[in-house]
Amino acid sequence: MAMAAQIPGTRALSVLHAAARHLNFSRAASEVGLTPAAVSHQIKEMEDRLGLVLFARTSRAMALTEAGAALAEAVAEALDTLERGAARARKAARGVSQLRLTMDGLFASKWLVPRLDAFRARCPEIDLRFDISYELRDFDRDDVDIAVRFGTGRYPGVTTHCLFGNVVVPVCSPHLLRAGPPLREPRDLLRHTLVHIEWSRQGVTWPNWRMWMAAAGVEDFDDSRCVLFASSSHVIQAAIDGNVVALCDFSMVANDLSAGRLVRPFELGIKMTPGYAYYLAYPAGLEHDPRVEAFRGWILEEAGRTPAEA
């Protein structure tokens, strides 16, 4: 509820909402940026003004009273309505020329930014602004119009278009290929430091070195020495820095390969589970918004020209 706290006059409501969800004043205080004593004071003041007891307190636990539960439900609905209204107000205040796009930092830096000049030349009337975040945004609550996200592309009330899928390939710096232990066959990789991203959602795992080695016919591979990263951008940078062999999404390193910053010691690639891909996403009903139409047409053309993994 960070956005609700920014709406004037909602501090007390945000405090009650946090306290009702956590049933702990310390955790509620951490969420809303107050001290536990200030949260306790705010709740006590609300109880005094309403003439109600909202929380039943014992030495071991805290619980909402019946009155507290009823008020907490109403507060949650009110804050949700205010957040949606504030988002609509921000979008209206921006005018019709600005388009706010949300995406993660890797996609922005490795794929979109190198192509931005082409979009601006094609659509100079659109003021493209960015929200760079790995967190999923809510079109109803957050000040964003359109998104690029990796996932299944199935989101309620959202229209999506697949940009491209994912093939994970081994890459390293040309320096490592020249100066490190030779890489003539897949088993030679065992003499190198191997890195990959650790990612799993709904039973789907991002391709890792164990999977790649199995596909390459290396059956006795021990993955306990692999170095795991939480971010793909860190995996790519580690490869560019020159001392590791990394498994990376081909579409995110295509420019680095073309520029010679990275090379592929082996051609074998592992495809991501079908259905998981990069998608363009926007609220259903915005299909005919001129800004969305323009950006959609451009990015789908660019995605179609993105080099396919060889």
Per-residue confidence band for 21, with pLDDT thresholds at 50, 70 and 90: very high
Do 160 and 299 reside in the same domain of the chain?
yes
Do 36 and 156 reside in the same domain of the chain?
no
- Let me know if residue 140 belongs to a domain: yes
Cβ neighbour number for residue 23 with a 10 Å cutoff: 13
Do 261 and 121 reside in the same domain of the chain?
no
Do 83 and 232 reside in the same domain of the chain?
no
Contacts of 31 (CB under 8 A, 6+ apart): 1, 18, 22
pLDDT exceeds cutoff 90 at 306: no
- Let me know if residue 280 belongs to a domain: yes
Which of 72, 92, 112 represents a domain boundary (last residue)? Answer: 92
- Let me know if residue 310 belongs to a domain: no
Per-residue confidence band for 3, with pLDDT thresholds at 50, 70 and 90: very low
Question: What is the rounded distance in angstroms from the CA atom of residue 250 to the CA atom of residue 6?
Answer: 40
Domain of 41: which CATH number? 1.10.10.10
Instruction: Tell me the C-alpha to C-alpha distance, in Å, between residue 255 and each of 5, 88, 211, 267.
Output: 42, 38, 25, 17
Question: What is the rounded distance in angstroms from the CA atom of residue 36 to the CA atom of residue 28?
Answer: 8
Do 50 and 114 reside in the same domain of the chain?
no
Average pLDDT of the residues in 220-229 = 90
**Number of domains into which the chain is organized:** 3
Longest dimension (CA), the chain: 79
> DSSP 3-state assignment of 16?
helix
Across the chain, what does the average pLDDT equal?
Answer: 89
Do 171 and 266 reside in the same domain of the chain?
yes
- What is the structure's pLDDT at 286? 87
Per-residue confidence band for 242, with pLDDT thresholds at 50, 70 and 90: confident
Question: What is the rounded distance in angstroms from the CA atom of residue 151 to the CA atom of residue 130?
Answer: 20
pLDDT exceeds cutoff 50 at 5: no
Per-residue confidence band for 63, with pLDDT thresholds at 50, 70 and 90: very high
Which of 52, 71, 92 represents a domain boundary (last residue)? Answer: 92
Do 266 and 291 reside in the same domain of the chain?
no
Its domain, for residue 256, covers 167-271
pLDDT exceeds cutoff 90 at 90: no
Average pLDDT of the residues in 66-77 = 93
Stretch (H or E) spanning 213: helix 209-215
Do 155 and 282 reside in the same domain of the chain?
yes
Which of 92, 115, 139 represents a domain boundary (last residue)? Answer: 92
Domain of 213: which CATH number? 3.40.190.10
